[in-house]
Chain A
């Protein structure tokens, strides 16, 4: 009986220590997991584009045609690799797993399931300002 009680107390003590460790881990995980909100970023593309021009930035691709200028994300919606633009096929292609997207960001092939996000583009106006501002 005394032996059983001792075992019970010993096991309880182990569980208490494990629970205490888990409790101590909680502030660590909360601290590490918190994401500091990023400031909205405005990226300037300081050149005027002609119809059919394509501008590759680190995070987006800027397209310009007769009626519109638009920016599409360069981050693949499958696993986050950086897309490249194929002039021949007029498609955005992921070098990691070959997902394909149209220039408007619509997914057409490969393991990616979602379309690419589009970013707002504003044309800069003014005497010295030529180009576009892309809001990420």
Chain B
């Protein structure tokens, strides 16, 4: 098992999934209209030939990209890989929250009950940050004022470019040949043909909406704590701990211990949210 984990090329597979995600995203963008997000997303599902397939392919390949990059990160941390300097590591790891934001903005752009609510919550969390909150919201979301315009711009250009800037130095060191992962790509295609990407229309009399899986714990925390604490500070300490995961000596060990405990607690809170 340990050998399998260490020898499998998780990073390369993650990148191949990202290629599939980008290509399917380009196809979707030809039909998606950010002025009418929900209408547009449901048109893809119900009207446009193969629309649901392309949407599912984009959805699942993006999820697989994120999950495999997490596996890649964990395996690298526990494997014999060369350590990066702290500066280079921080630069590279900054790509993780950016990829999570890419995933999140994708959820929001669906414009369904989950997407719209998640977007509005994110906007209000941003606004709860003192001094820079309003500016940050203007850069990332501004859904109340601008609809999905800025979320869309960030999803298709801004965040993608930012991710490439952070990951570029890492990516250019390795050569990934897509043909070597033919079965994996075929697997993503077949999976997307069988399983439709989720869509939750607004319904009267719905009194519980669950957010994206990776923010369920955050949704639960927001029930008890102030938005600034639950939505900003709690995730921020985790992101800061990521920066020191690979540091030498005591710092690295403490950061890994902290990040591990944080994830276990977050997983527990997520389970509470799922039980509602």
Contact = CB atoms under 8 A, between A and B. Distances in A.
A95 B135 contact: no
Nearest to A81: B117
B176 interface: no
B134 interface: yes
Nearest to B207: A93
Contacts of B205: 84, 86-87
A80 B120 contact: yes
B135 A33 contact: yes
Interface stretch (B8-16, B137-145, B243-251, B254-262): B137-145
B224 A111 contact: yes
A96 interface: yes
Contacts of A85: 204
A9 interface: no
The 7 closest A-B pairs by CB, nearest first: A80-B120, A79-B124, A95-B209, A79-B121, A81-B117, A32-B138, A80-B124
Nearest to B220: A97
B123 interface: yes
Contacts of A111: 222-224
Contacts of A96: 117, 121, 209, 211, 219, 222
**Interface residues of B toward A: which range?**
20 to 34
Interface in A93-126: 93, 95-98, 111
Which of A35, A75, A93, A97 lies at the interface centre, i.e. has the most chain B CB atoms within 10 A of its CB? A97
Interface residues of A, number: 22
B204 A56 contact: yes
Interface of A: 29, 32-33, 35, 38, 56, 75, 78-82, 84-87, 93, 95-98, 111
A97 B123 CA distance: 16
Contacts of A35: 145
Interface string B207-248: 111010000000100111001000000000000000000000
B120 A81 contact: yes
Nearest to B121: A79
Nearest to B231: A79
Given A81-B121, A111-B224, A98 B208 contact: yes
A97 B208 CA distance: 8
Nearest to B276: A98
A97 B135 contact: no
Interface in B91-143: 113, 116-117, 120-121, 123-125, 134-135, 138-139
A75 B121 CA distance: 11
Contacts of B207: 84, 86, 93, 95, 98
25 contacts: A29-B135, A32-B135, A32-B138, A56-B204, A78-B222, A79-B120, A79-B121, A80-B123, A81-B117, A82-B116, A82-B117, A82-B120, A82-B202, A84-B204, A84-B206, A86-B207, A95-B209, A96-B117, A96-B121, A96-B209, A96-B211, A97-B219, A98-B207, A98-B223, A111-B222
